[in-house]
Amino acid sequence: MAKIKVGIINVTGYAGVELARLLYDHPRVELVSVTGRSAIGQPLAEVFPHLAPLKLTITAELGKVDLAFSALPHKASAEAVAEALGQGVKAIDISADFRFKDPVMYQKWYDFKHPAPGLLSEAVYGLPELHRSAVALARLVANPGCYPTSAVLALAPAVKAGLVGSDIIVDSKSGISGAGRTLSLTTHFSEANENVAAYALEGHRHLPEITQELERLAGHTLSVTFVPHLVPMTRGILSTCYAPLVAGKLATGEKGVKELMGLYHDFYGGEPFVRVVDAPPQTKQTWGNNLCLVYPTIDLRTGRLIVVSCLDNLVKGAAGQAIQNMNLMLGLPESMGLKGLPIYP
């Protein structure tokens, strides 16, 4: 059976290179084209020696493919995706360029005028656990951000069941690869090593994305506080989410904790990449894998929901989730090419 041909627009970023690594072992898909603005004409093996078995050269043009992943920065990604769609190619955008329906959001949060606003209504938000059937029918999927994936998966069952009030706090820690490959003082080794720093307290770009998805589930407006932190590790996101419980929705005491755990198991029952666990998870337990681990509990002293989630920001938070969406769009088994176990330690 002939393999489906796919390409990566901008393979030279962390998400792009992770896509190439994961696609190499996919049994039904062949990566035939990789572009990269800073390395045109170079063998992929020269830029990333570990990808030598792919035997590809970085080009300026995508070429003939059935589906394209765009890992370009925002705005540039929208332009490339619009061009691909115009050529009859399905597209998965890993940037933020199609995650919102309102073009005003891009001006407000990303400081650019959207170059293809007519495509926003068509784009499907690519969190399969919430939008699986729509993803399967889509020709354009907006791959979620890494922080929103961890936060929304942590809170979705409780929010949908109406267990929590409107005031939600999301506290997230991310490895440095989440900032991308572009050099900056903040991610310089001497600055980041042996250091933990909160940032974007005035409003991170992923905040409206988290709010959008949770409000869809809740059916009403929510007040969400999101504080991200940079920690000195390469990969991983750990989110701890807090919200007051609505009185009477769950039993009191330990019985309520068991009911909550049962609710989460029911919500994610059968999901290939969300695992509800019995103890607070750790980022190393998802390293290199497409899993999101979720641990819900209740602070019995305060009546507050606490949910801890963790994932690999480059896999379930980016490239792995993109391949999960690709599988759905192409009618392939959702977990195909993504069954590898986490790397430990």
Q: In angstroms, what is the C-alpha Rg of the chain?
A: 20
Neighbours of 106 (CB within 10 A): 23
Element (H, E) at 73: none
The helix-helix angle for 14-23 and 320-329 (nearest 10°) equals 50
C-alpha torsion sign, points 102, 103, 105, 108: negative
Give the span between the Cα atoms of 37 and 11, in whole angstroms: 9
CA triple 330-335-336, angle to 5 deg = 65
Considering 146, 241, 292, 310, which one is annotated as catalytic? 146
Cα 274 to Cα 95, 293, 316, 331: the distances in Å are 23, 6, 10, 21
Residue 304 CB partners (closer than 8 Å, separation 6+): 242, 243, 244, 245, 298
CA–CA gap between residue 298 and residue 290 (Å, rounded): 27
Asked whether 246 and 162 are in contact (CB, 8 A), the reply is: yes
Q: Look up 146 and say whether it is catalytic.
A: yes
**Region of residue 288 (phi > 0: left; psi between -120 and 50: alpha; otherwise: beta):** left
Cα-based torsion angle of the residue sequence 194, 196, 200, 204 in order, rounded to the nearest 10 degrees:
100
- Taking alpha carbons only, the member of 314, 263, 270 closest to residue 155 is 263
Residue carrying the six token digits 């409780």: 158
- Amino acid in position 100: F
Question: How does 197-224 read in b/e, with b if 16+ C-beta sit within 10 Å?
Answer: eeeeeeebbbbbbbbbbbeebbeeebeb
Catalytic residues: 146
